[in-house]
Amino acid sequence: MQTSIFLAQLIGPVMLAAAVRMIINREGQRAMAKDFLDSPPLIYISGVLVMLAGLAMVLYHNVWVADWRVIVTLLGWMATIGGAIRILCPSAVKKMGAAMIDKPMAMTIGSLVWLVIAVVLLYFGYFA
């Protein structure tokens, strides 16, 4: 349980900051995403970093239970898989990312999902 709380305390604030930035500065976020997708080295290095973080989470927190802790496990697996995809298939990442940028509602929905997950992690990490 301590690992779950630690990871919730670590991930929650970062997700909250990212979600709030996406909500309050959508055009800036879109511009940054376009620049990111135009840089294969950034896609690659972000894949390495995200995969490392995801693997660390999965190795130390592979908890499959029917409570909030499964969110941390799922985020770890999603980071591991997402990082691998960035490393192995950067052109697919660019194509999928461009499709999302072209749909403003996708970014809005994504930011709201991140906001909800961040609030849940912050609650269980700091207040529960």
Q: What pLDDT sits at residue 51?
A: 98
Packing angle of the helix pair 69-88, 104-122 (nearest 10 deg): 140
Q: What pLDDT sits at residue 93?
A: 97
Q: What pLDDT sits at residue 104?
A: 81
Tell me the HSE value of 127 on the side-chain side, using a 13 A CA sphere: 6
Please give the structure tokens belonging to residue 105: 């509602």
Is the Cβ–Cβ distance between 43 and 36 less than 8 Å?
yes
| C-alpha to C-alpha distances, 45 to 12, 79, 87, 90, 128, nearest whole angstrom | 23, 13, 8, 11, 36
SS3 for 66? coil
SS3 for 68? coil
Q: What pLDDT sits at residue 84?
A: 98
Domain ranges of the chain: 12-122
Q: What pLDDT sits at residue 1?
A: 86
Is the Cβ–Cβ distance between 118 and 68 less than 8 Å?
no
What does the pLDDT profile of the chain (128 residues) look like in tens digits?
A: 899 999 999 999 999 999 999 999 999 999 999 999 999 999 999 999 999 999 999 999 999 999 999 999 999 999 999 999 999 999 999 999 999 999 989 989 999 999 999 999 999 999 99
